[in-house]
Structure 1
Amino acid sequence: MRSLFCLLAALLLCAQPARAWEYWGGDRGGQRFSPLTQITSDNVGTLLRGWEFRTGDLDTRPPEVMKRTKFEVTPLFVEDSLIFCTPFNEVIALDPGTGAQKWRFDPKISMAQRPANRFVCRGVAHWTDDRAAEGAACKSRIFTGTNDRRLIALDARTGKPCADFGNAGEIRIDAGMKLEWPGEFQITSAPVTGRGVVVVGSAIGDNRRVDAPLGAVRAFDARTGQPRWSFDPLVHNGVEAGHSNVWAPMSVDEERGLVFLPTTSPSPDFWGGKRPGNDEHANSVVALRIETGELAWAFQTVHHDVWDYDLPAQPTLARIDTGDGRRDVVIQPTKQGFVFVLDRGTGKPVWPVEERAVPQNGAEGERLSPTQPFPTHVPPLLTQRMTADDVAGLLPGTGSSACETLLAQSRNEGLYTPPSTQGTVIYPMTGGGVNWGGAAFDPVNQILYANVSHAAHIVTLIPRDQAKGFNPPPGHEFGQQEGAPFAMSRALAKSAVGSPCNKPPWGETVAVDLKAGKILWHASVGTSEDLAPLGIALNTGTPLVNGVAITAGGLVFTGAMDAYLRAFDARSGKQLWLGRLPVPGVANPMTYLWKGEQYVAIGAGGHSEAGTSIGDSVVAFRLPRQGEGASLWTRLIDWPGGRFTAKAVAAGLVLVALIALLWRWRHSRRSRSA
């Protein structure tokens, strides 16, 4: 059966390079699927670390700067190199078999710019100029956006700037207005290319002001850098809000000549009184003609968003069997856990989407939409309401009074409860559901895979007269929302020990049969080992903003907020393997074939917003070569059935000692009483 499966996969995917990962999402449409079959569910348990490369950032950057980094990169495998960017926008090419550095380009961004979304670069784009002569400089190009809003073109073989692109290889993006500080406007996701055009979005500081910079998507000639078009996702008729932008990864249908944009909520996030109506084309999947920027179609997933439920995930382009034949579609997962499936040519829902009534009575001056769109065929990937029954105790069988009190005093009417001055439960939290890691699609078995987070935010509106000089409590984000009658405060709903208020698991991988409209399995991902004191490894799952990579070998690979790369069986969701990383790999993994060996690689640099340890590594795993094998100690450490690390053993011994001391103390008290 497995050989038949692999043969079918090869036949269906013969047009794709069998060894490459040429785009941030694996292919132009972000399927994150590899036809490679060397690593299978039968042998994945033997994977060894092939190599580790360190960028050097941890040694050369000040600690206070490293504390503002997110290493969310996915390398590309092009030009016989692994090519990726660091959080500081250095672009590095590595030997795929050894991890040795081949070249490096440093754009020398300022460490003092304080980027609104921290220092981050999720990836680069590759493009080949079919008009250039073989061997010509910059025939093969790498495009990268920077935290200081530049678009840079490099020769993919040497790393040298392309002199014929823009100004000596770069274009500085004009924000269109004076920024309040240099990092208010940045580029965080990889550009995309198609039909000789390179397209780039932007990330803009949230919740600072109503009159924020416009969130225009910009396109340039991929050869010369000449501007081609600009598209503002927000229709400004009667709307005073500054922007709806595209910070998330985009997708391209080269054949149709379309680029697909996942757009954000308008500024500011949590009060929309100055942007009446549905705010088209914010919170939408937008399809543009890539050569002209002309609008082909748009589909809105949230009307008049006041929950920060923007579209964070790359639209996944796939061909699916709907029951009425195969159709080219756009699959758009959301922070709420919805999966919208749209016809790629028209933007119409493939299966019915219903407008349903949602909670009303927003803050003063607010004009909410009375309904919101709900997909009917594909079920939500997670629950969408948190109640008192969902509150986790500090220990099994006990209640958490702090969480119960927090929930009781906050407004909580389920999904789309509007923000309020008393505090509102936003569940799923504003980080998802599904986040920037997006979804992966198996084109052979028609199965969608996605990581989701289970956690709640408490969002509180602060009247303007109270906002001046407001000192947010520890762990609370504060945004002025200048120009609105309310500032905002946002915090994770946490227990007294700092864990999410809701019961675990806090992060899962979910598999969905799209045709049947059925969840196939949920698998908890991650433990508390690298987050809890003494390395105590509880099987809680961890929040998952990153995504997965899937293979024709029947595997699902994912990182988490503990320091492991995991492999799950794609059919059952059973965890088959985990490989230790230097720090958490909060990034999308990828896989490639080099000199007959399949590798799986992931960026392992931690995530400052999540409070993990910080690093600067890319790590690759492969199957053992002849004569190689893992030691017994390594197998014990990486055994999926337990967490036999030195830290976990020490934590267990400490716990046993504490229990013994408590028992002796209680026994001695009873003896004295007697």
Structure 2
Amino acid sequence: MTQRLIPLAAAALIAAAAMTSAHSEAPGWAHYGGDAGGTRYSGAAQINVGNVSRLKPAWSFSTGELALRGAALKRAAFEVTPILAGGRLYLCSPFNAAFALDPATGRKVWGFDPKIDPSLHYPNSYNCRGLTWWRDPARAPGAPCAERVFMATNDRRLFALDAATGRPCAGFGQAGVVDAMPGVSLSRPGSAQITSPPVVIAGVVITGSSIDDNQREVETSGAVHAFDAVTGAPRWSFDPLAGAGPKVHAGAANVWAPMSIDEARGLVFLPTSSPSPDFYGAARPGNDGHANSVVALHAATGQLAWAFQTTHHDVWDYDVPAQPTLATVTYQGRTVPAVIQTTKQGLIFTLDRETGQPIIPVVERPVPQGGAIGEQLSPTQPFPIAPAPLAPSRIKAADAFGITPWERQACADQIKGARNEGLYTPPSPEGTILYPFTGGGSNWGGIAFDPGLDVVFVNTSSAIHKVTLIPRADFAAERAAHPDLEVSPAAGAPFGMKRELLRSPLGLPCNPPPWGELSAVDLHEGKVLWKVPLGTTRDLAPGSQLLLRGSGTPNFGGPIVTAGGLVFIGAAMDDYLRAFEARTGRELWKGRLPAGGQATPMTYVWQGRQYVVIAAGGHAKSETKRGDQIVAFALPQ
């Protein structure tokens, strides 16, 4: 049910924006997040509230992975968002096959396969969220590699490809490729990968990494690396833990989610993750340097401009999971260039882009204490005063969900048997409730921001993890007893860990629905305007959507917003792309997909026609239907 409508004045702004965009330059989607700041906003308005119900499939493109990879797709996530730049669509498959397509037809212009090893097991499945396009200002238009496409791979290579042909650029590194994590020592083959697209600013290309969780106390370095965009020569690196202090023994704190850039200010913004191991931090006293932070660096040198930490001394795997969104925000009458950051806890931080200071005030609140032996928890955690958290964080046994009394009781017993004091309850040997679970709240899909309205659109998930610390002496037996659960050693620490979703005997979440929601937040006052369930259980359990009407589902991927007054989103665990009215949250249309749409869509106008495009390939962690198609929708010609 909607909570509140966007005011009529805002509706008028949507209509005005739609009329203006119809006479402006055709909107494209040149960056992973739509623009360099990741607003996921398009000025396209040909598709609007009045005609979106007429959307039909326009074209589709198959990467060929379904036939080529077979069983390996079970370990893949098709999360790519294509980009439109230089007259072509560019995208990558989960196995880093790169493609250029004709924007009108989806016809392949070229393809490039870096031939990664499909037998390795990576921490976050085989995954490639996107490619990055760059125009070299020193080269004549049409010259070889004057336009480049950069791709960072699962096996930690960085390729520079000629955007016109797909051939590696000979002058970049060794025949078009460099080691994207130079000097990094891995605990095992495949323990680190790169899943998000690099960014390019002022001739510097910058990459992060994704590192396996809970394997070692002192894990692989999570340093961000920068290279010359023309030659591939190393330029700088930045380790978020470098200033954490000499007593800190940890690794990771890596940047696995997408980054954003402010070219005018020469800044790159990093969403950093938690240090190793996730759930026990005795070997890293203090607040972990610049882990779990939004970090602004001077892109030319890698020097720190500022950092803001969203979780102190993280022992909950509450990474900063999404691209920092750069926008101009007017809060209580004051207009400021901002960084908007959503979190797994369902919080939204709104920071001054120049200083990192909160625009919407943040307060430090006491949180539960009494961690495991040797643990030194932070006594407080930061909470923005607005908006209200977008995900629930407290649950009692009496709140347990189930479609029968037997189901409810089974869930109630699981909740009752764990330590459970609300958000930031520390992990424990008896088992601790983490709510929201470590998948969010919000996750890598991030937010969409409408600059005409100062409204943020964000999707969230709601589920419970129980995390149990396992004393070292008991670890081998516990791992053998639970072969189907995540049981990891955290070697070097006195505890390993077990992480499990709390589900009923029929497999439903133990917390009450909705399990997925889409929300709109007005940043003028930090108020939640509306919330609606996102997704159905149709493809999880056919027929159950009638019984579980309004349940929503956990989701992967994010929203986009257009000047046509629409929010488009896939993400849910049914095979649909949906369009919601931005003003009210009313679902206006849904298009059936050939496989799971756990990806963020994009939109563009080409030769006078607006297209909405999404990857439909499913997701290993969602266990949604697998496929390998890019699907485009448009109004009938």
The structure 1 residue matched to 2:561, chosen from 545, 550, 553, is 550
Residue number in structure 2 paired with 1:515: 524
Is 1:463 equivalent to 2:482 in the alignment?
Answer: no
Residue number in structure 2 paired with 1:451: 459
Is 1:428 equivalent to 2:439 in the alignment?
Answer: no
Q: For the residues of structure 2 that align with 1:325 and 1:153, how far apart are their CA atoms?
A: 42
Superposition pairs for residues 309-458 of structure 1, below 5 Å? Answer: 309-395=318-404, 400-458=408-466
Q: For the residues of structure 1 that align with 2:367 and 2:419, how far apart are their CA atoms?
A: 14
Q: For the residues of structure 1 that align with 2:161 and 2:539, how far apart are their CA atoms?
A: 37
Q: For the residues of structure 1 that align with 2:102 and 2:457, how far apart are their CA atoms?
A: 30
Q: How many residues align?
A: 622
Is 1:225 equivalent to 2:232 in the alignment?
Answer: yes
Q: Kindly tell me: are residues 128 and 283 of structure 1, through their superposed partners in 2, closer, same or farther at Cα, counting changes over 3 Å?
A: same
Residue number in structure 2 paired with 1:577: 589
Q: For the residues of structure 2 that align with 1:444 and 1:419, how far apart are their CA atoms?
A: 43
Is 1:606 equivalent to 2:618 in the alignment?
Answer: yes
Q: Please list the CA deviations of residues 273-328 of structure 1 after superposition, one character each: whole Å capped at 9, or x if unmatched.
A: 00000111000000000000010000001000000001011000000112243110
Q: For the residues of structure 1 that align with 2:192 and 2:227, how far apart are their CA atoms?
A: 19
Q: For the residues of structure 1 that align with 2:489 and 2:538, how far apart are their CA atoms?
A: 36
The structure 1 residue matched to 2:198, chosen from 168, 191, 205, is 191
Shift of 1:3: 7.9
Superposition pairs for residues 618-629 of structure 1, below 5 Å? Answer: 618-625=630-637
Shift of 1:177: 4.4
Q: Point out where structure 1 has 5 or more consecutive residues left out of the alignment.
A: 626-674
Residue number in structure 1 paired with 2:252: 243
The structure 1 residue matched to 2:598, chosen from 576, 586, 600, is 586
Q: Please list the CA deviations of residues 181-209 of structure 1 after superposition, one character each: whole Å capped at 9, or x if unmatched.
A: 22111100000111111100001111100
Is 1:29 equivalent to 2:37 in the alignment?
Answer: yes
Residue number in structure 2 paired with 1:634: none
Shift of 1:96: 1.4
Q: Kindly tell me: are residues 595 and 58 of structure 1, through their superposed partners in 2, closer, same or farther at Cα, counting changes over 3 Å?
A: same
Is 1:101 equivalent to 2:108 in the alignment?
Answer: yes
Q: Kindly tell me: are residues 6 and 135 of structure 1, through their superposed partners in 2, closer, same or farther at Cα, counting changes over 3 Å?
A: farther
Output the amino acid matched with 2:539: D
Residue number in structure 1 paired with 2:55: 47
Is 1:561 equivalent to 2:561 in the alignment?
Answer: no
Shift of 1:4: 6.3
- Whether the 8 Å contact between 2:267 and 2:298 is mirrored in structure 1 is yes
Output the amino acid matched with 1:292: T
- Whether the 8 Å contact between 1:148 and 1:182 is mirrored in structure 2 is no
Shift of 1:61: 1.0
Residue number in structure 1 paired with 2:5: none
Output the amino acid matched with 1:40: N
Q: For the residues of structure 2 that align with 1:472 and 1:294, how far apart are their CA atoms?
A: 48
Superposition pairs for residues 84-233 of structure 1, below 5 Å? Answer: 84-174=91-181, 176-233=183-240
Q: For the residues of structure 2 that align with 1:332 and 1:3, how far apart are their CA atoms?
A: 28
Shift of 1:73: 0.5
The structure 1 residue matched to 2:317, chosen from 308, 320, 323, is 308
Higher gyration radius (CA): 1
- Whether the 8 Å contact between 1:9 and 1:444 is mirrored in structure 2 is no
Output the amino acid matched with 1:426: L
Shift of 1:476: 2.0
Secondary structure, aligned partner of 2:190: helix
- After TM superposition, the structure 1 stretch with the greater mean CA deviation from structure 2, 112-121 or 135-144, is 112-121
Shift of 1:19: 2.1
Q: Kindly tell me: are residues 311 and 12 of structure 1, through their superposed partners in 2, closer, same or farther at Cα, counting changes over 3 Å?
A: farther
Residue number in structure 1 paired with 2:6: none
Q: Please list the CA deviations of residues 128-160 of structure 1 after superposition, one character each: whole Å capped at 9, or x if unmatched.
A: 111111111111111110000000011111111
Shift of 1:175: 5.3
Q: For the residues of structure 2 that align with 1:186 and 1:133, how far apart are their CA atoms?
A: 35
- Whether the 8 Å contact between 1:209 and 1:268 is mirrored in structure 2 is yes
Q: Quote the RMSD (CA, aligned, Å).
A: 1.7
Residue number in structure 1 paired with 2:485: 476
Q: Kindly tell me: are residues 535 and 56 of structure 1, through their superposed partners in 2, closer, same or farther at Cα, counting changes over 3 Å?
A: farther
- Whether the 8 Å contact between 2:18 and 2:45 is mirrored in structure 1 is no
Superposition pairs for residues 242-281 of structure 1, below 5 Å? Answer: 242-281=251-290
- After TM superposition, the structure 1 stretch with the greater mean CA deviation from structure 2, 421-430 or 4-13, is 4-13
- Whether the 8 Å contact between 1:92 and 1:103 is mirrored in structure 2 is yes
- Whether the 8 Å contact between 1:334 and 1:434 is mirrored in structure 2 is yes
Q: Kindly tell me: are residues 278 and 10 of structure 1, through their superposed partners in 2, closer, same or farther at Cα, counting changes over 3 Å?
A: farther
Q: For the residues of structure 1 that align with 2:185 and 2:179, how far apart are their CA atoms?
A: 14
- Whether the 8 Å contact between 2:181 and 2:225 is mirrored in structure 1 is no
Q: For the residues of structure 1 that align with 2:15 and 2:35, how far apart are their CA atoms?
A: 19
Q: % of aligned pairs identical?
A: 55
- Whether the 8 Å contact between 2:21 and 2:43 is mirrored in structure 1 is no
Q: For the residues of structure 2 that align with 1:368 and 1:387, how far apart are their CA atoms?
A: 24
Shift of 1:471: 2.2
Secondary structure, aligned partner of 1:618: strand
Shift of 1:251: 0.5
Secondary structure, aligned partner of 1:132: coil
Q: Kindly tell me: are residues 49 and 349 of structure 1, through their superposed partners in 2, closer, same or farther at Cα, counting changes over 3 Å?
A: same
Shift of 1:233: 0.6
- Whether the 8 Å contact between 1:434 and 1:545 is mirrored in structure 2 is no
Q: For the residues of structure 2 that align with 1:278 and 1:10, how far apart are their CA atoms?
A: 49
Q: For the residues of structure 1 that align with 2:84 and 2:576, how far apart are their CA atoms?
A: 22
Is 1:530 equivalent to 2:542 in the alignment?
Answer: no
Superposition pairs for residues 638-657 of structure 1, below 5 Å? Answer: none
Q: For the residues of structure 1 that align with 2:476 and 2:392, how far apart are their CA atoms?
A: 37
Q: For the residues of structure 2 that align with 1:480 and 1:305, how far apart are their CA atoms?
A: 18
Q: Kindly tell me: are residues 345 and 386 of structure 1, through their superposed partners in 2, closer, same or farther at Cα, counting changes over 3 Å?
A: same
Shift of 1:10: 7.2
- Whether the 8 Å contact between 1:68 and 1:608 is mirrored in structure 2 is yes
Shift of 1:174: 3.8
- Whether the 8 Å contact between 2:208 and 2:225 is mirrored in structure 1 is yes
Shift of 1:117: 1.4
Shift of 1:503: 1.3
Shift of 1:112: 2.1
- Whether the 8 Å contact between 1:394 and 1:497 is mirrored in structure 2 is no
Q: For the residues of structure 2 that align with 1:597 and 1:581, how far apart are their CA atoms?
A: 21
Q: For the residues of structure 2 that align with 1:473 and 1:521, how far apart are their CA atoms?
A: 41
Secondary structure, aligned partner of 2:346: coil
- After TM superposition, the structure 1 stretch with the greater mean CA deviation from structure 2, 267-276 or 158-167, is 158-167
Output the amino acid matched with 2:222: G
Q: Point out where structure 2 has 5 or more consecutive residues left out of the alignment.
A: 1-8
Question: With CA pairs under 8 Å and 6+ residues apart, which has the higher RCO, 1 or 2?
Answer: 2
Secondary structure, aligned partner of 1:466: helix
Q: Kindly tell me: are residues 13 and 405 of structure 1, through their superposed partners in 2, closer, same or farther at Cα, counting changes over 3 Å?
A: farther
Secondary structure, aligned partner of 1:471: helix
- Whether the 8 Å contact between 1:475 and 1:491 is mirrored in structure 2 is no
Residue number in structure 1 paired with 2:607: 595
Q: For the residues of structure 1 that align with 2:244 and 2:385, how far apart are their CA atoms?
A: 31
Output the amino acid matched with 2:593: L
Shift of 1:390: 2.9
Shift of 1:377: 2.5
Q: For the residues of structure 2 that align with 1:289 and 1:590, how far apart are their CA atoms?
A: 29
Q: For the residues of structure 2 that align with 1:341 and 1:17, how far apart are their CA atoms?
A: 30
Output the amino acid matched with 2:559: V
Shift of 1:536: 5.2
Secondary structure, aligned partner of 2:621: helix
Shift of 1:351: 2.1
Q: For the residues of structure 1 that align with 2:146 and 2:428, how far apart are their CA atoms?
A: 55
